[in-house]
Chains A and B, each alone.
Chain A
C-alpha cells in the first residue's frame, strides 16, 4: 500500500530511491510526457471556456488523477517509492532539507537562475529541460525572490474552514474552498507557492521541477483534510454545467475517470498522518 509521507521525514534511502526513479523516468522520456500534458491544459483551460485541469472545480480531482498516474510511473521503476508531500507552511525557507544537495538541490544562481547542485543540476546531464517555453534547457529556481513568503498555517486553516467546495461561475473568480486553495482569490495558497519557487515552477511547464509533485501532493492532502473537516460538503457542481466538469462527467485526457471516482484517495494511497 502506498503511503505518502512528509518529505521532511524521509530517510536518506527513501530520498535516494525517489531521486533515482525520477531520473529513470526522465531518461526514458516518460517524465516529459507529463510536462507536455500539464502545459497543454494550462494553456487551454480558460475562465469563460472549457476548463478541466485549472481554474475550475476539477482542479483538485484532475491533479489527484495526474499524480496517481505519475506515482504509478515511479513505482514501475521502483515499487517502494511513493510521492512525498511538501508542507510549505512548516518547511518554509530555502534552508530546508528539501533543498539540500542530497534531495532537490537549492536555489538558482543570481546571473541566470540556474540550479547548480543536486541531481537535477544541468551539469549532471541527467535533467535537460526539453519541454520548454524559452530557449533555456537548465532547471532554474529563485526561491523566495523579492522577499516573498510561503503561506502560513493560519492562512491554510482559514481556507480549510470554508464549507462550500466551489461556487458559480466555477472559475478563477469563484468564492469557496477550491478557488481559495488554488489561489486566484483570497490569501492565495497553491499559486503563491509556484511563484515562490520561481524558475520553471512559475511557468506553464512547471512539472519540469520535481518539487511540482511534492507541492501538489500537499495540495491534494489539504483537499483530504478539508473533506475530513466538512464531511457533508459535496463536490460541486453536481450536473448540467456548461464548460465545467460536473461530479459525474469524465475528465480529459483520460476520459474514463470522473470527479466522483477521485473523491476518496484511500483506494490509491494513504498519508502518514490521519487526514
Chain B
C-alpha cells in the first residue's frame, strides 16, 4: 500500500461528500482495519500491455467526473477509463463485467480486454 493511497483514503473519509467512498476505501486500504473479509492491503498499481492493449490501474487522481466507486482506485484501457467498483467482500466488478466479481483490479482489466475483443471503450458517463 502506498502512502498516497493511505492519505487519499483518510482524506476522502474525512470529507462529507465522499464519506461513502471513503468507507469503502478505508476498509481495504488501511492496514490495521479489522475487516477479515477484505484484503488487509489495498490493491497494488499495475501497468502492462495485455493482448495488445495498455491496461493501467492505481489510486485515482483528481479531475475525473464523479463516476468512481472503486474506492479511489482507477483503471484505464488504452487511456480510457473503465468504470470499476469494489464489492463489500473486496472483490471487483466493472461496467463491462458487471455480474461476475473477480479478485483484483488487474484481473478485472484483463477480463474487460478479453470481452472487448479489440473494441475501444466509450468515454465514461453517468446517466
> What residues of chain A have their CB less than 8 Å away from a CB belonging to chain B?
36-37, 39-40, 42-44, 46-50, 55, 112-113, 132-136, 169, 171-173, 183-184, 190-192, 194-195, 202-206, 243
Given the known A-B contacts A194-B98, A204-B98, are A133 and B122 also in contact in the complex, defined by CB atoms under 8 Å?
yes
**Contact assessment for A204 and B119 in the assembled complex, using a CB-CB cutoff below 8 Å:** no
Q: CB-nearest residue of chain A relative to B85?
A: A46
Bound-complex Cα distance A113 to B119 (A):
12
When distances are taken between beta carbons in the complex, the residues of chain B under 8 Å from A40 are 126-127
Tell me which of B17-25, B39-47, B56-64 binds A.
B17-25
Bound-complex Cα distance A135 to B119 (A):
6
A-B contact pairs, 30 of them (CB 8 A): A43-B85, A43-B95, A43-B126, A46-B20, A46-B24, A46-B85, A47-B24, A49-B20, A133-B83, A133-B95, A133-B96, A135-B122, A136-B119, A171-B88, A173-B37, A173-B87, A173-B88, A173-B89, A191-B99, A194-B98, A195-B99, A195-B100, A202-B96, A202-B97, A202-B99, A203-B95, A203-B96, A204-B95, A206-B98, A243-B20
Give me the 6 closest cross-chain CB pairs, A-B, nearest first: A49-B20, A40-B127, A173-B88, A194-B99, A191-B99, A47-B88
Q: Does B34 belong to the interface (CB within 8 Å)?
A: no
> What residues of chain B have their CB less than 8 Å away from a CB belonging to chain A?
20-21, 23-24, 27, 37, 67, 69, 83, 85-89, 95-101, 115-117, 119-122, 126-127
Bound-complex Cα distance A71 to B120 (A):
33
Residues of B contacting A: mostly: loop
**Contact assessment for A49 and B96 in the assembled complex, using a CB-CB cutoff below 8 Å:** no
Bound-complex Cα distance A20 to B16 (A):
49
**Contact assessment for A184 and B96 in the assembled complex, using a CB-CB cutoff below 8 Å:** no
Of the candidates B21, B100, B122, the one whose C-beta lies within 8 Å of that of A191 is: B100
Bound-complex Cα distance A206 to B100 (A):
13
Bound-complex Cα distance A191 to B87 (A):
14
**Contact assessment for A202 and B126 in the assembled complex, using a CB-CB cutoff below 8 Å:** no
Bound-complex Cα distance A142 to B41 (A):
35
Given the known A-B contacts A171-B88, A191-B100, are A50 and B20 also in contact in the complex, defined by CB atoms under 8 Å?
yes
Bound-complex Cα distance A143 to B98 (A):
16
When distances are taken between beta carbons in the complex, the residues of chain A under 8 Å from B27 are 48
When distances are taken between beta carbons in the complex, the residues of chain A under 8 Å from B99 are 183, 190-192, 194-195, 202, 206
Smallest CB separation, A213 vs chain B (Å): 16
Bound-complex Cα distance A39 to B95 (A):
9
Most chain A C-beta atoms within 10 Å of own C-beta, residue among B98, B100, B116, B127: B98
Smallest CB separation, A49 vs chain B (Å): 3
Q: CB-nearest residue of chain B relative to A174?
A: B88
